Structure 1
């Protein structure tokens, strides 16, 4: 069952993960949405992160789950970016991917059934 997440990037310039090779590169609402959507639909971001771990084979494979039907829309609202994510992925996977992409620069505003 899909879930809809309402995410805010209060300071988009600081919405960057600790590892520049994994972090958002986006500069606008639509670009943030596209990068997050790709991170949910494919395992590329997860695999790059996993390869950096001390023991990649010990990483929980459930974190590599993908949702080919995930959608993300982005909207610039004054100085922050609002993202609406619709996905069937577990919240733990969403949090992990957002952490890699945005670090602590994101806020969960609401969660609803899609």
Structure 2
């Protein structure tokens, strides 16, 4: 599978939260978010907790639990927003799912390129 470089933007990282506090990120800065997202992509722990909370865990698409032990995430504040650089071989569907669990719709994909 090809590695991709995702360029994301978060307008207000301090208030960026997922809909369900059981899975939502609870930090306030770019370094903490980068670390949390990186762990969420390298491990299936967040996915497993989310799947266990679903009404029918066996009906959940297992492909959403894919991981990339080599995923790299960097985040920094630039001009009053947070820019996130993510390099992974995970498909966008998995990246999007983990982001929504952690920070809901508070992010925007700015660009996507081959890494």
- TM-score of the two chains, using structure 2 as the length reference: 0.96
Q: CA deviation at 1:13?
A: 2.2
What residue number does 2:75 align with?
A: 74
What residue number does 2:3 align with?
A: 2
Count of residue pairs brought into register by the alignment: 114
- Match of 1:49, SS? helix
What residue number does 1:28 align with?
A: 29
Structure 1 unmatched ranges of 5 or more: none
What residue number does 1:39 align with?
A: 40
- TM-score of the two chains, using structure 1 as the length reference: 0.96
What residue number does 1:51 align with?
A: 52
- Match of 1:100, SS? helix
Q: Deviations over 1:11-49 (max 9, x none)?
A: 112210001121111211111100000000000110111
- Distance, in Å, in 2 between the alignment partners of 1:44 and 1:77 is 30
- Distance, in Å, in 2 between the alignment partners of 1:9 and 1:44 is 24
Q: Deviations over 1:35-86 (max 9, x none)?
A: 0000000001101110110000110100000000000001111321111000
Structure 2 unmatched ranges of 5 or more: none
Computed over aligned residues only, the root mean square deviation of the Cα atoms, in angstroms, reads: 0.8
